[in-house]
Structure 1
Amino acid sequence: MTTTEKAAIDDIQARLSQKSGRLVIGASTTVVGYWLPSYLAMLQKASPNLDLCVILGNTKSMCQALLDYDVDMAVVEGVVENERLSATRWQEEELEIVTHPSLIDALDLYVNHGIGAAPTWILREQGSGTRAVAMEMLYSLGIKTANTIEIGSKKVLQEPLLQEWAQRYYHRRSVRELVLVGDVVIYSVSRINVLKRVLYVVHVRKRPITALAGLFMELLMAPL
């Protein structure tokens, strides 16, 4: 971090220290689990009198929470399509296709050569930004997803893989530990280089942004 970047963050924290009140942030489960903790810690440290609330849900439900004025701002993954919402690109992360080690050869034969039975894909629930990105990528590759298992929790999603059920998309941060211990393997599709999804900071276009929400957005955008 450069001296200028550090000064910018110090300035944001100084302004936050003078604020009090309530800030309600909506966030998808992936964002809360892997991206937001350090920012929330900085926010709480800078403004200890802040009444901070984080509401969890998938991308669709968090966008609806914004429109219903249940949250002040949201941080989600995947595409935000509602014209009433403003989505600012925040982070970009890689996705991986993972499978049980015993299924890797059969998956490769089907994806690259159309040989064998269609694989079963474990997917997040409807409304999940991860699901939307994964489905778009599979469709572009001509991979059929007729056989699917839909589960709402990313933690639960790990279990079928360990039981040799299926394959699914994971973002790189969450799959690292499973790969290291050998419970799953990453399957690379030769026709594409990297699978990516974008994380967005979202607010309602015609709704005034509260001072606290505005400062937290500045903190999110500042280089750490």
Structure 2
Amino acid sequence: MIDFAHLVLLEVAKQLNFSKAAEKLYLSQPSVSKHIKNLEGVYGVALFERKTNGISLTEEGHILVDFLTKAHQLNQELQFEISTLRNQSDAKGALVVGASTTVALYLIPRIFSSFRQAFPNIQLQLINRNSDNILKALLNHEVDVGIVEGAHKLSSVSYQFWLRDEVVAVCASNSPFAKTTTLSLEQLLRTPIAVREKGSGTLAVVVDALKNKGIALPQLPIQAVIGGTEALKNFILENGSLAFLPQLSVQKQLVNGELTKIEIPGLNIHRDFYIVQRQGAENHKLPRLFIKHCQQGINF
């Protein structure tokens, strides 16, 4: 069992900032500093190098953090193993899941709720970042399981295909464009459109799909560039423009009639999501239990 002072060390090593670590741990900064000073006394070495622009781990600090990370993982596995000896539903443990925005907003709440009903003693935490940062967090042991867009194929990460989400053209049901449910590519070039901001995964797959049809994004009559899926959805509900949005994000509005889906023959846009783990961690039982629940327990 890792004592609290070592957990404080792990958090400071993660944040590389005493104030941020204190905030995460609900402690005062002097309390965090005291824990680190005590550990430095125990081991007889400096664990952090103090600089004018921040702190960094010393060589000794890196060694200790590496061992503590492994020990913390073993402790979690031990807790899970013992708690499930008699009944799997009694499972205890903690799991940190990292997910890209679409999954975090529209799928994870339902998955977490269902998982907690089945395993009420497992503590769940969600980290919502873009796919690249989820992979970084996974490799830094900040998350146990990640769900990312696209198979980046890092050699240190294992990938399992999870689901395919279609990106669809939609407009408000009271928009003039909703009168027809089909647009040709030629008509699309004359249709006012709102798009996501540069760097958006949704925008990237739209740009690629259009490029395959010989259309560059600037050829479209873009009315607005909107940051965020929800903001873009709310904009077209008020503005009446067309927008490309993930099917997952507009299911509810399509069902209740607020939005209308517009078919564009020949333009098929989709994104694939993958469940990712660190290589070598695929057999850890709690993450496997959660992954199985994602794959089999939810009807998408």
Which TM class, normalised by the smaller chain length? 0.7 to 0.9
TM-score by length of 2: 0.57
Distance 1:53 1:61, change over 3 A: same
Quote the RMSD (CA, aligned, Å).
Answer: 3.2
**Residue correspondence of structure 1 range 33-112 to structure 2 within 5 A:** 33-76=105-148, 78-83=149-154, 84-100=156-172, 101-102=175-176, 108=183, 111-112=185-186
Q: Could you list the runs of 5+ residues in structure 1 that have no partner in the other structure?
A: 1-11
- More helix per residue: 1 or 2? 2
| Distance (whole Å) between structure 2 residues aligned to residue 123 and residue 114 of structure 1 | 17
Moved more, 19-28 or 157-166: 157-166
Percent identical pairs in the alignment equals: 24
| Distance (whole Å) between structure 2 residues aligned to residue 150 and residue 222 of structure 1 | 37
Q: Tell me by how many angstroms 1:74 deviates.
A: 1.1
CA contact (8 A) 1:121 1:148 kept: yes
| Distance (whole Å) between structure 2 residues aligned to residue 15 and residue 133 of structure 1 | 45
1:115-149 residue CA offsets vs partner (Å, 9 max, x unmatched): 64x854411551x4433322222222223212585
Name the SS of the counterpart of 1:155 in structure 2.
helix
- Equivalent AA in structure 2 for residue 159 of structure 1: N
1:152-209 residue CA offsets vs partner (Å, 9 max, x unmatched): 42211113213437432222243244345655432211224x5332221111224465
| Distance (whole Å) between structure 2 residues aligned to residue 51 and residue 150 of structure 1 | 38
TM-score by length of 1: 0.73
CA contact (8 A) 1:27 1:55 kept: yes
Which has the greater radius of gyration? 2
| Distance (whole Å) between structure 2 residues aligned to residue 154 and residue 130 of structure 1 | 9
- How many residues are matched? 206
Higher relative contact order (CA 8 A, sep 6+): 1
Choose from 274, 278, 284 the match for 1:200: 274
Q: Could you list the runs of 5+ residues in structure 2 that have no partner in the other structure?
A: 1-83
1:72-114 residue CA offsets vs partner (Å, 9 max, x unmatched): 11123x3131413222111223221123523578x947x3268
Moved more, 47-56 or 165-174: 165-174
| Distance (whole Å) between structure 2 residues aligned to residue 125 and residue 114 of structure 1 | 20
User: For residue 123 of structure 1, what is the aligned residue in structure 2?
Assistant: 196
**Residue correspondence of structure 1 range 170-209 to structure 2 within 5 A:** 170-179=245-254, 183-192=258-267, 194-207=268-281
Distance 1:165 1:114, change over 3 A: closer
| Distance (whole Å) between structure 2 residues aligned to residue 115 and residue 42 of structure 1 | 44
User: For residue 168 of structure 1, what is the aligned residue in structure 2?
Assistant: 243
Distance 1:24 1:223, change over 3 A: closer
Name the SS of the counterpart of 1:51 in structure 2.
strand
Moved more, 207-216 or 174-183: 174-183
Name the SS of the counterpart of 1:99 in structure 2.
strand
User: For residue 97 of structure 2, what is the aligned residue in structure 1?
Assistant: 25
Q: Tell me by how many angstroms 1:26 deviates.
A: 0.7
Name the SS of the counterpart of 1:132 in structure 2.
helix
